[in-house]
Amino acid sequence: MALKCGIVGLPNVGKSTLFNCLSSAKAQAANFPFCTIEPNLGVITVPDERLTELAEIVHPGRIVPATCEIVDIAGLVKGASKGEGLGNKFLGNIRECDAIIHVIRCFDDDNVVREGGAPVDPIADKEIIDTELQLKDLETIEGQMVKQEKMAAAGNKDAKVMVNVLRAYKEVLDKGMNARAVTFDDKEEQQAAHDLFLLTTKPVLYVCNVDETSAKEGNQYSRLIEEIATQEGAEAMVIAAKTEEDIASLDTYEDKKLFLDELGLEESGVNRLIKKAYNLLNLQTFITAGEMEVKAWTFHKGWKAPQCAGVIHTDFEKGFIRAEVIKYDDYMKYKTEAAVRDAGLLHIEGKEYVVQDGDIMHFRFNV
């Protein structure tokens, strides 16, 4: 399941520094715009303590965590929707992503220049990015509107649905709001909306990049963004990217833990960010556990057992018979599959079973 999050923001807000922490791929980090000309792609692992705890019981040959692709997209600037800077290319890169990680500068530093030399202003920075994405979406909508209205007038039912969707989106975008503020109950409208691939319908996580002293509690800048995110129904979090870079450079788990303890943090900001990004995409994990491997498999929340079986192999879904399910807590309590079975806690589930996060699964199939 190739899922991709794109890191966006204005130049010099810490995108590439954050990307370096998230991925083993190293983007060039420099204090000038457009140092990232090509999007940098990295594959990140999703932290999941359950895999390690299971491995201590099962002793598998390997542990395979879930993964997600992350893309460091070069800094947008005002006018990107009109092609300013490398705008069209960057906006195209965003279109290919499933979710947006929007990094916003929430720190003071005279050595890091804000575009135009203006004072730090996280709300204005956020609005610049929002506006550029909204303008591009309006361009998409207006390009479709005339064509769809003509087809609708000629009696095309699909076009009539699309016109309703386009008008609903245009209404909110004209008010300076993001298209994700619009929801559709009708399935045909939902499909039409999906087919537009608008930039501002993508789920967003606002990442407030703060200084080290604000890594735990945030600061006056980050609180402004958190308030706006709440109003939008979006996610926001605080991270000190430069500090995360220092943590990532440490060699041992013990050294990293000591550093986090000194900052008063239970978990690194990078781990929290990855988990939030995973949730942002409405993803969950089921697990297979055996002597060969303990492996996390990614699925969309709400999927039923046959769909999840298909994540492993399409034949598993085609020939699905049943799923044998053990709850994670039960496995940890009884330590072996046999003991769980003897306790009557191995559940046999059919095609309508909705898989839950952390389920330990074994699929029976026949093709």
Residue 27, pLDDT above cutoff 50: no
Residue 308, pLDDT above cutoff 70: yes
Q: How many CA atoms lie within 13 A of 217 on its CB side?
A: 3
208 is written with which tokens? 């407030």
- On whether 24 is known to bind a ligand per the annotation, the reply is no
Residue boundaries of the structural domains of the chain: 4-48+61-119+203-280, 132-200, 302-365
Return the pLDDT at 28.
Answer: 47
Q: Band of the pLDDT at 123, cuts 50, 70, 90?
A: very high
| Homologous superfamily of the 302-365 domain (CATH) | Beta-grasp domain (3.10.20.30)
- On whether 16 is known to bind a ligand per the annotation, the reply is yes
Return the pLDDT at 289.
Answer: 95
For strands 293-300 and 62-64, give the pairing.
parallel
Closest CA to 128 of 78, 88, 82: 78
Helices (H), the chain: 15-22, 49-58, 87-95, 122-153, 157-174, 187-196, 220-232, 241-249, 253-263, 269-280, 305-312, 314-318, 328-334, 337-342
- On whether 12 is known to bind a ligand per the annotation, the reply is yes
What digits encode the pLDDT tens for the residues 65-79? Answer: 988 888 888 656 666
- On whether 17 is known to bind a ligand per the annotation, the reply is yes
Q: What is the dihedral of CA 82, 83, 85, 90, to 10 degrees?
A: 110
With tokens 């420099």, the residue in question is 30
Return the pLDDT at 76.
Answer: 62
Q: Between 2.60.40.420, 3.40.50.720, 3.30.565.10, 1.10.150.300, what CATH number should domain 132-200 receive? A: 1.10.150.300
* Whole-number Å distance between alpha carbons of 205 and 187: 26
Average confidence (pLDDT) over 262-281: 88
Return the pLDDT at 277.
Answer: 85
- On whether 13 is known to bind a ligand per the annotation, the reply is yes
DSSP 365: E
* Whole-number Å distance between alpha carbons of 352 and 285: 18
Q: Do domains 132-200 and 302-365 have the same CATH topology?
A: no
Return the pLDDT at 36.
Answer: 44
Q: Whole-model pTM?
A: 0.84
Q: Domain 4-48+61-119+203-280: which topology?
A: Rossmann fold (3.40.50)
Q: Specify whether the CB–CB gap between 320 and 352 falls below 8 A.
A: no
